[in-house]
Amino acid sequence: MATGIVNLRDSIYQEAMRYAKMHNVSLESFVENIIINTINRDKHSSKKFKLKSFDELSPRVQSLIGSGHVSKEAEDDINGRKARMDSLERKYGNG
């Protein structure tokens, strides 16, 4: 087992000692558990999130999205610039 020194503010040390004593564990076990839990939480949260395509969603979720769904034709115009320009051209003509 490796040993090391960790410097803590006195108030944090006292609270940690009080907590460990109240839960009938050693300060060493308490600190080890905190470190282990933090490491495990980080391991689980680092999983990559993959955005599903519309077709991969359940029918219920698809129905909730409704008109907010981007059609296949509009996927190449994700920010709507082309659609906006087309609308302006229809309204004001080629100008």
> How far is it, in rounded angstroms, from Cα 61 to Cα 65?
6
pTM greater than the 0.85 cutoff: no
Residue spans per domain, the chain: 10-45
User: Helices H, strands E: what count in the chain?
Assistant: 4, 0
**pLDDT (tens place) for every residue of the chain, 95 residues total:** 788 888 999 999 999 999 999 999 999 999 999 999 988 887 766 666 677 888 888 888 888 876 565 666 666 777 778 888 888 888 888 75
Q: Are 61 and 46 in contact (CB under 8 A)?
A: no
